[in-house]
């Protein structure tokens, strides 16, 4: 090999080496940040469960603790959250909040805006996460088993009955699961039945795509910006079960349009 060939080989090795290091460091950074997320949640919920359970009773007011514990995480990650429409939450009465669901990181957005005495509807599996589950239970979260549909509907029916009495707000992810697609999944109807049964308004919330700073497939997690738009309330007064399909569809459309708008009208992927 002559000098030129040697230098070409060296250069190629250098380029491949640097790109491999970059990939590994991006993936390493991603895994560290995700470990921090779960570790942080596990640490604080364990503390809440062990040290505060003797003095706490199951109560939606305890959501304030989770809200406070999660607050520093966005600072560590360098995620700036811009909230639009907070004035739409200035209501004393109970309501149902519906929000799109993309990743576990939605927890940061949810805790950024979740009002007092508002509890999420969560999959029952969370309850089985030991001390994490216990802290969630202490915070008054509503657990449903998504495989037992009748039981899930019954739990939501009971929640509708207690919302006024206990002055509670309920947060539902109507897609029913995390969604990495470009558009929102069709909505499950539980949240809308809940609001109609309780005769409370629905407040749609849309969180923008994480694509610019987070992608689990690419193991990429950098600093970035997130937008949350809280839409004006949708009244359900005098609506009945027959109105639910149209109600669900109209809110889905508004949220889908808003999602596209706050993602800059781009063809977005979370």
Ligand X SMILES: CCCCCCCC/C=C\CCCCCCCC(=O)OC[C@@H](O)COP(=O)(O)O
Alpha-carbon distance of 58 to 48, in angstroms, equals 12
Q: What are phi and psi for residue 177, nearest 5 degrees?
A: -165, 165
d(CA 239, CA 55): 41
Q: Which residue has the tokens 């080496």?
A: 17
150-189 footprint of ligand X as x/- string (CB under 6 A): -----------------------x---xx-----------
Token output for 44: 């604080």
Residue of the chain from 104, 218, 232, 257 that contacts ligand X (CB under 6 A): 104
Which range, of 18-26, 28-36, 172-180, 214-222, touches ligand LOTZAFKI by CB under 6 A? Answer: 172-180
Q: Identify which of residues 42 and 83 has a Cβ nearer to ligand LOTZAFKI in the complex.
A: 42
User: Strands 220-221 and 214-215, how do they pair?
Assistant: antiparallel
- Of 23, 58, 80, 149, which one interacts with ligand LOTZAFKI (CB under 6 A)? 149
What is the full DSSP assignment across 183-248? SPPPPPSHHHHHHHHHT--EEEEEE---TTTEETTTTEE--EEEEEEEPPPB--TT--GGGHHHHH
Query: Does residue 123 interact with ligand X by CB under 6 A?
Result: yes
Candidate residues 11, 28, 38, 164; the one interacting with ligand X per rule CB under 6 A? 38
Does the footprint of ligand X cover residue 129 (CB under 6 A)?
Answer: yes
Q: Is 114 in the site for ligand X (CB under 6 A)?
A: no
Name which of 37 and 259 has its Cβ closer to ligand X.
Answer: 37
CB of 7 to ligand X, least distance (A): 51
Q: In sequence order, what E strands does 107-185 have?
A: 118-123, 142-144, 169-172
Which of the choices ligand X, ligand LOTZAFKI, none does residue 133 contact, using the CB cut-off of 5 to 8 A by kind? Answer: none
Contact partners, residue 183, CB within 8 Å, separation at least 6:
256, 259
Assess 136 for contact with ligand LOTZAFKI (CB under 6 A): yes
Could you list the residues that contact ligand X (CB under 6 A)?
38, 41-42, 101, 104, 106-107, 123, 129-130, 132, 173, 177-178
């Amino acid at each position: 090999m002559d000098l030129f060939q040697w230098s070409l080989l060296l250069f190629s090795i250098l380029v491949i080496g640097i790109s491999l290091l970059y990939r590994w460091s991006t993936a390493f950074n991603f895994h560290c940040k995700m470990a921090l997320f779960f570790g942080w949640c596990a640490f604080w919920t364990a503390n809440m469960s062990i040290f505060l359970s003797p003095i706490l009773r199951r109560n939606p007011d305890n959501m304030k603790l989770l809200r406070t514990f999660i607050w520093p995480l966005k600072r560590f990650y360098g995620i700036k959250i811009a909230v639009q429409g907070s004035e739409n939450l200035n209501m004393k009465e109970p309501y149902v909040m519906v929000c799109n669901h993309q990743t576990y990181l939605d927890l940061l957005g949810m805790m950024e805006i979740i009002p007092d005495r508002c509890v999420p509807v969560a999959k029952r599996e969370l309850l089985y996460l030991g001390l994490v589950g216990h802290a969630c239970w202490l915070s008054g979260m509503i657990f449903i088993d998504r495989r037992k549909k009748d039981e899930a509907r019954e739990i939501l029916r009971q929640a509708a009955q207690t919302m006024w009495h206990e002055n509670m707000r309920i947060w539902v992810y109507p897609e029913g699961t995390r969604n990495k697609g470009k558009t929102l999944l069709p909505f499950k109807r539980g949240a809308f039945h809940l609001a109609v049964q309780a005769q409370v308004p629905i407040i749609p919330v849309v969180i923008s795509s994480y694509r610019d700073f987070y992608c689990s497939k690419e193991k990429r997690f950098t600093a970035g910006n997130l937008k949350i738009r809280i839409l004006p309330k949708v009244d359900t007064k005098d609506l009945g079960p027959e109105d639910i399909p149209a109600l669900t569809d109209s809110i889905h459309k508004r949220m889908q349009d808003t999602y596209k708008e706050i993602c800059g009208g781009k063809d977005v992927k979370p």
